[in-house]
A and B are shown apart, each in its own frame.
Chain A
């Protein structure tokens, strides 16, 4: 039965809901992930009076979220992409700040060292110039070691971050699972969606997506399932799996990501992508590891180039030069999955062919397989087939010890450890080999026109410095230290005692040429001169790239990668902002709008209250009419 009081009361109640909802909207204007709510009004069932239907007022049927699933999904996916790019770019910037300063970075240290060699070349007798060279050598070592330490700190930072992120992912995943349960209960109780819980769940999934790329699949009305990687379940209904970090079997010094599911632990390092986690892992494999290896390769190039020439020379004490730099060997690590404790020894055979990659050698039933650890692609190698025969590939020679079992693996790091063992081998400035070790001369009483070249060292460190006389027994034959007679060819190589020289012109019979130890030639700079030239010569990439150029190239590459990462991040951040703006334009609270709603509902409420008052007055009129 329709009556004015009932209608007025229904209106008051419904408008109260509306005002409550407006107040809730205003209260949550700054709540992240909040979706504005709206009250749906509907007329009550009308009553019939004779032939007319009289309305019975209003009901607040439902409080709805103003929500668009498509827009919410866009925000989530762009937040995942942005999370990855932000992590990548900020880490890239760290690397660029460390190595990208061209005026004070590695280039400058290398230049100072080269300058110091030049200084010794122009004043070989000056002990102070030699001391400067040792000091600059040590400064170069310190710089490279410092960089290496910082890079390995960054790598350790990534491990720490991975552990922290895993913890946060677990918290978020647990939250999603719990909300799945609560939402189901709430739906069951009222049949109406619990808006604020749905908001919270969307918010948690969005945060999850910023940490790691996820796939979200709705199941029925209430549940959402969350998958990571290539479909590994993170949240299934009300159960959440745990993401953990486990030690890398191939490289115990770093961790990998794993997912503990009810059916066991799954390695997800290779499959996860997107989000902060994906960004960190990508950055480590795309920038950090190659940079560390490149620094190691540069170290190797400097050491081998300098040592090679230095060992050809003679120092102030008259002794042959030794190594100028010490350098670390090839690193070999053994996966914990190996069934035997077989070791492998690896050496570098050709610095020019060394790459910045790491390798995994696997023992197969019949031989070995070698693959590139980064790319996973097989590497061609030569192996004579015997147990003690070395495997040779990419400038390396690896000998596997006895007792190796099938499926045992060896991880070879050709360059990574070079820096840890890097150091200046010389402490005494007099031991810098600036001089050539031998001097040659034509005896002054020679009557022919033969001339002798300087002696070139063939086997660095293995040259004998004893006196040698080359005597021409006739114009066409000669003997070396009284040995067998040999036929003279003008300009032909004469090799002896680990050195090589040439005699040209027309020597006469009886002419003598002498080769003597150059001890005492303190002013000789021939070897220092060669050292200075060697620093400019191509060493890397098959002898085409000099050390200084390699450093510049590395810096430039880091700069390019960082720049690209920054540009992608900036672009993605615009996309993400647009997505948020699009979602907010539908779901966000606008205070002016709420103010208008409030006025609207307030006025309606005042009118409804007036209905109550009028209906009271009407009732009074009736009472007064019948009061006699």
Chain B
């Protein structure tokens, strides 16, 4: 086959240029550390890489979100611990106040202490987080959630908790509303409240009672009436003629009265015609509980002639505080569960991130060993092409024409 001189030069230069192009591609791969620079070099890899990038970026966002939720929940956890301590110490004060050997002046001091706890609890309930957002205001985080009014403490926040995404499938509330924590707590034993009749003449006092059989309990107003000092009956509030639920005779102080699945105990000695009221429990709040306890300690005592009433009220106060403590324990348990959910999500996310990174690296990152060996190969190829070209191009028959 004939070869034209111009064609020979063109082919040789084309081959050298091709070598140079490949060499520069490999060089670019090595300097950037990436297998491909634009989507055209590996369309499938580019799209898959972009999708993985997106998942990783989302993960990073979830991680930031988790930190925010975690920090806020830890603030809440601390506040709840403080609230628990305050309620516990108030309960201790109530127990101390119940001691019949205490004088009224000492009880007043205890009442002062209770008021201290009350204002400390207000401070806890109105705490804010590091961003200056109130912790217990729901989503009205710029509104001071709890305010003292003439009719007690009112809640000014709302009932919504902020949900924050911590994984593609999981969102967590970053706080509890003040209403969920401090307000709307069923009083006493949580089911019913007991009071001594206002016109009682004996010194019988009813305790807070308890529910023995929840299914037998029928919510309603009931009255324990002593027809004599030892005979009694329980009636409901039907009009005009109340129904008699149960009756008893031979009452002895400290005896339990059972009906409709509940049991109440009356201590002291009731007189004939004395009554004790049993009504469905109402919702109260922690602040009202402490206020009530303080008022009880201030205004009466077992020695002040209203012993029966005091016993009933101090018993109620202690039961209330137990309810409040139970609430804080419940909320703290939820906070703990959320914190552990965050930990779990973080673990999942981190191991997923490692997987994704290695996938992405397989997809996009240069295998240096391979690339450098390729570079050497291409370098040798270019050198050989150049050497061959210069050698062959030098040869010409004209050199021998004399």
Q: Is A525 an interface residue (CB 8 A)?
A: yes
Please choose the segment from B35-43, B345-353, B376-384 that sits at the chain A interface, where 4 or more of its residues have CB less than 8 A away: B35-43
Q: How far is the CA of A103 from the CA of B141 in the complex (A)?
A: 38
- CB–CB B39/A558 < 8 A: yes
- CB–CB B142/A560 < 8 A: no
- Interface residue SS majority, chain A: helix
Among B5, B44, B141, point to the contact of A29 (Cβ < 8 A): B5
Among A96, A101, A593, point to the contact of B2 (Cβ < 8 A): A593
Q: Given the complex, which residues of A lie within 8 Å of B174, measured CB to CB?
A: 122
Q: Given the complex, which residues of B lie within 8 Å of A599, measured CB to CB?
A: 401
B102-149 interface with A by 8 A CB criterion: 131-133, 137-143
- CB–CB B39/A562 < 8 A: yes
Q: Given the complex, which residues of B lie within 8 Å of A595, measured CB to CB?
A: 396-398, 401
Q: How far is the CA of A122 from the CA of B142 in the complex (A)?
A: 15
- CB–CB B401/A598 < 8 A: yes
Query: Chain A 92-135, CB within 8 Å of chain B: the 1/0 string?
Result: 11001101111100010001001100110111111000000000
Q: How far is the CA of A99 from the CA of B38 in the complex (A)?
A: 9
Please choose the segment from A72-80, A389-397, A577-585 that sits at the chain B interface, where 4 or more of its residues have CB less than 8 A away: A577-585
Q: How far is the CA of A175 from the CA of B164 in the complex (A)?
A: 74
- CB–CB B5/A590 < 8 A: yes
Q: Given the complex, which residues of A lie within 8 Å of B61, measured CB to CB?
A: 114-115, 118-119
Query: Chain A 434-468, CB within 8 Å of chain B: the 1/0 string?
Result: 01100101001000000000100000000000000
Q: Given the complex, which residues of A lie within 8 Å of B44, measured CB to CB?
A: 556
Q: Is A215 an interface residue (CB 8 A)?
A: no
Chain A residues in the interface with B (C-beta under 8 A) = 29-30, 92-93, 96-97, 99-103, 107, 111, 114-115, 118-119, 121-126, 435-436, 439, 441, 444, 454, 518, 520-526, 529, 532, 548-549, 551-553, 555-560, 562-563, 566, 577, 580-581, 584-593, 595-596, 598-599
- CB–CB B53/A103 < 8 A: yes
Q: Given the complex, which residues of A lie within 8 Å of B42, measured CB to CB?
A: 559
Closest-CB distance, A468 to chain B (whole angstroms)? 16
The residue in B57, B65, B160 that gathers the most chain A C-beta atoms within 10 A of its C-beta is: B160
Q: Given the complex, which residues of A lie within 8 Å of B39, measured CB to CB?
A: 96, 99-102, 555-556, 558-559, 562
- CB–CB A590/B46 < 8 A: no
Q: Is B369 an interface residue (CB 8 A)?
A: no
Q: Is B151 an interface residue (CB 8 A)?
A: no
- CB–CB B40/A523 < 8 A: no
Q: Given the complex, which residues of B lie within 8 Å of A436, measured CB to CB?
A: 160
- Nearest chain A residue, comparing its CB with the CB of B159: A441
Q: Given the complex, which residues of A lie within 8 Å of B43, measured CB to CB?
A: 556-557, 559-560, 563
Q: How far is the CA of A593 from the CA of B140 in the complex (A)?
A: 96
Q: Is B199 an interface residue (CB 8 A)?
A: no
- CB–CB B397/A591 < 8 A: yes
Q: Given the complex, which residues of A lie within 8 Å of B216, measured CB to CB?
A: none
Q: Given the complex, which residues of A lie within 8 Å of B46, measured CB to CB?
A: 100, 102, 555-556, 559
B1-52 interface with A by 8 A CB criterion: 1-7, 10-11, 14, 37-44, 46-47, 49-51
Question: When A and B form their complex, which 9 residue pairs have the shortest distance between CB atoms, in order from nearest?
Answer: A588-B4, A559-B39, A523-B141, A559-B43, A524-B139, A100-B39, A562-B40, A556-B47, A595-B397
Q: How far is the CA of A119 from the CA of B58 in the complex (A)?
A: 12
Among B50, B65, B398, point to the contact of A107 (Cβ < 8 A): B50
Q: Is B211 an interface residue (CB 8 A)?
A: no
Q: Given the complex, which residues of B lie within 8 Å of A118, measured CB to CB?
A: 61, 64-65, 165
- CB–CB B40/A558 < 8 A: yes
Q: A97-B38, A529-B163 known; A596 and B158 CB under 8 Å? A: no
- Nearest chain A residue, comparing its CB with the CB of B14: A577
Closest-CB distance, A227 to chain B (whole angstroms)? 31
Q: Given the complex, which residues of B lie within 8 Å of A439, measured CB to CB?
A: 158-160
Q: Is B68 an interface residue (CB 8 A)?
A: yes
